Structure 1
């Protein structure tokens, strides 16, 4: 397994990449499946004890190339020393400041940077700890905006099928991911959904560009069906995350969405929790289209996994409406805007800027997609390669011509990911049900932006070998 330390050192890490010695691995680190309530109660979890650059190291010293950035979280690589140093300095200065009472310099500084970066007019930033909180904040801002304008009937949020906006009950209600929400349905309020923008398995059996983007027009149909006077906002991931593993809407899609929202006085919320902060090769994925959102959410890459950090960015027009009427944004989280998390965010932002990592994401993304298209050309089991920048999805099919999926009981994608892990590369299984909710296997790739061309070649080789091992023995 190749271990490239050059990039990590460029970003300020003084610790060389390498396995952790036995002396620095206390016995407690090697315990697994103890008192922790794990997500998979039948899985024996390996213990990760250190990480540097592109690699994680387990308690046996074995390296794993992190080709998924944890969960599309890490963007600057692991073990960057200046981030942990900034975290230590902030905690030494002040460990906690409650944002309902005070602000702090780290929060103010990060907000200025994020406001200047985000494609939201005169954006005002509300910090929180994760993507679910950020999207919840966006929905509450949308609701309060309409209330303060005297439009109390506007409360519904329209979302898309095959989408994901968070794991709280309210966000599961907006997410088109039945595999995660169905068991909690008694607690979840239903919300209107429109068709996903998914060309490979188009729900309208149409073909671009002759189709006229019926997936976008479906928003107008839903608005008219619900009643425009009842709809507050439309929320969408500009490029799909694990639900559709990198599905990219066609040219003109979001311009049409923006037009429809404006026509019916509806806010457009861009959920950039996964796709934002350079994942698609631009600071925010929505910038691939000429359509500014009214509210934008960002998470994951904002703190690059060094601290729980996310944010909601609302346009100045929305915030000014609230300020000049009720004067209060009735919402908040205990740890929102805390100094240590925002100090990490400041360092991540500066590292991205200094090393031009958004541009690097675009450059390395081109190589990644080139290699994946080559893989699709020689493997009949690869039905589709999709995504943009350093977000890629690979859909595996039993029949390439008809797009027929494998029997869902065969768990092909899960098995491919497991084999790849034994070969030292971490991939991520996309959400099951990509075939209109009935079967389908997809794999997501979303590495840190410091990945090299050689490491991309290696991960594609391992993916190729893993597919072959699962399907052909």
Structure 2
């Protein structure tokens, strides 16, 4: 029940010593966000009365939209069974059934699932699992302590995961705290990485050769893992890899007995048009991280999928994974994710992602490819990025101080548009460069896709029409 006006007057909200009415540590101490008062389908209703079209499903999370009745019922049913138990002593049918559903989706190419609460936790667990794999090989290979990742990558915000990522801007303040056992190679970034006149296959060969040379330089016997996103999400703005790239990477990893970890926290679980992004790349990872679309935002949930090669080494060794967390395999999170995945499968939503993705690409390129400040439009499925540049010919990015991506997001949030567009920065080198993401729900319809593209185009056009750029 809503409190009465007189009750609010006699019991005003408590304020902190700074005058901020909230005691919650928001991302910004100076500009607390608006409060969501209701969410249903593709829309969020805010405390100021606005109704926002959630064109990004948060951070590519709410894959079924908001308020799904089946998921709500599954959560209520699970609460009647058990809401929490410690995975050291017990399991639940929700966790077991979710694992079975996930392995089924890999067509048996992966063997075990490990369920945690966030993508950063999943990356941390994957790093530890890789280390344990090499310690339990027969004979053990304890010298394998180096990781290889790609520049302009982002794998999480905890210290281990942040150290594994190559996003300069996000690492900068915490650099003295980060481990130094990661080598970085070039990203697979068509728009800026491929040379004039170079064929796609030649670009893939050049990137693979760089990885080979890096491994040889540091010593193959010292390398544990190569990790990459099949489609780079927030850090680069939905950048797919060139054709043939990952098969070449898989071949190099196998040659040097290095594990391949694919980070599909943002691009996987249907987002890019196949249930797992690697299913369209002609490779199978040794370990895969998943999140975001796994539970659709109905509970904090992420995880690992591990293939038979890795599991068999542990099975022949200690017979256990030397890692555990309080909320590992949380029953409520597993129940939510299980129902989300069943809905995705039963309602053939991955197929809808493919179909609506083709439409979104066509409409975005039709409306925005010729825009003076749009340098590139790229993506796959319902995972699309738009990169902004000062000069299309030179691909010169905007100065970071102009805050172009955030400006586009803020423009979209104005009542005239009422659309949420996800901003990203550091696209070019981790410091400069701006892009935005569009990642609607998997069950989106053609009319909503058209509305998203139309509003996004208007926001971008109006933003640049009225923008005075102070740095050039």
Determine if the TM-score, normalized by the shorter chain, exceeds 0.5.
Answer: yes
SS at match of 2:120: helix
**Structure 2 residue 304 is matched with structure 1 residue 315:** no
SS at match of 1:378: coil
Which residue number corresponds to residue 438 of structure 2? 445
- Cα distance 1:407–1:334, how it changes in 2: closer, same or farther (>3 A)? same
Contact 1:159 1:193 in 2 (8 A): yes
**Structure 2 residue 420 is matched with structure 1 residue 426:** yes
* Whole-angstrom CA distance in 2 between matches of 1:212 and 1:257: 13
Indicate which of 57, 62, 87 corresponds to 2:75.
87
Indicate which of 188, 196, 205 corresponds to 2:187.
196
User: Structure 1 residue 187: deviation in Å?
Assistant: 0.8
- CA deviation profile, 1:271-330 (whole Å, cap 9, x unmatched): 011111100010011122111111111001111000011110111221121121122211
- Cα distance 1:219–1:262, how it changes in 2: closer, same or farther (>3 A)? same
* Whole-angstrom CA distance in 2 between matches of 1:285 and 1:373: 23
* Whole-angstrom CA distance in 2 between matches of 1:363 and 1:471: 31
Runs of 5+ consecutive residues of structure 2 not aligned to the other structure: 467-472
- CA deviation profile, 1:90-125 (whole Å, cap 9, x unmatched): 112112111111111110000001011136724211
* Whole-angstrom CA distance in 2 between matches of 1:463 and 1:29: 37
- Cα distance 1:345–1:437, how it changes in 2: closer, same or farther (>3 A)? closer
Contact 1:155 1:232 in 2 (8 A): yes
Matches of residues 111-190 of structure 1 in structure 2 within 5 Å? Answer: 111-118=99-106, 121-149=109-137, 150-190=140-180
Which residue number corresponds to residue 407 of structure 1? 399
User: Structure 1 residue 181: deviation in Å?
Assistant: 1.5
- Cα distance 1:409–1:122, how it changes in 2: closer, same or farther (>3 A)? closer
**Structure 2 residue 96 is matched with structure 1 residue 108:** yes
Contact 1:120 1:295 in 2 (8 A): no
Which residue number corresponds to residue 469 of structure 2? none
* Whole-angstrom CA distance in 2 between matches of 1:438 and 1:399: 18
SS at match of 1:189: coil
SS at match of 2:39: strand
Which residue number corresponds to residue 7 of structure 1? none
User: Structure 1 residue 210: deviation in Å?
Assistant: 6.0
* Whole-angstrom CA distance in 2 between matches of 1:120 and 1:285: 15
- CA deviation profile, 1:423-451 (whole Å, cap 9, x unmatched): 21001111x22123452110111111122
Q: Structure 1 length normalisation: TM-score?
A: 0.91
* Whole-angstrom CA distance in 2 between matches of 1:228 and 1:126: 28
Matches of residues 39-438 of structure 1 in structure 2 within 5 Å? Answer: 39-118=27-106, 121-149=109-137, 150-190=140-180, 191-202=182-193, 207-209=198-200, 211-213=202-204, 214-422=206-414, 423-430=417-424, 432-438=425-431
Which residue number corresponds to residue 9 of structure 1? none
* Whole-angstrom CA distance in 2 between matches of 1:91 and 1:445: 34
* Whole-angstrom CA distance in 1 between matches of 2:370 and 2:152: 29
User: Structure 1 residue 402: deviation in Å?
Assistant: 1.4
Count of aligned pairs: 452
- CA deviation profile, 1:348-390 (whole Å, cap 9, x unmatched): 0111112111111111111111111112333121110011010
- Cα distance 1:120–1:145, how it changes in 2: closer, same or farther (>3 A)? farther
User: Structure 1 residue 413: deviation in Å?
Assistant: 1.4
More displaced stretch, 302-311 vs 95-104: 95-104
More displaced stretch, 416-425 vs 451-460: 451-460
**Structure 2 residue 442 is matched with structure 1 residue 454:** no
* Whole-angstrom CA distance in 2 between matches of 1:122 and 1:250: 25
* Whole-angstrom CA distance in 1 between matches of 2:161 and 2:196: 29
Runs of 5+ consecutive residues of structure 1 not aligned to the other structure: 1-19
SS at match of 1:123: strand
* Whole-angstrom CA distance in 2 between matches of 1:88 and 1:187: 42
- Cα distance 1:470–1:453, how it changes in 2: closer, same or farther (>3 A)? same
- Cα distance 1:384–1:72, how it changes in 2: closer, same or farther (>3 A)? same
- Cα distance 1:148–1:210, how it changes in 2: closer, same or farther (>3 A)? closer
**Structure 2 residue 463 is matched with structure 1 residue 470:** yes
SS at match of 2:97: helix
Contact 2:14 2:22 in 1 (8 A): no
CA-atom RMSD in angstroms: 2.2
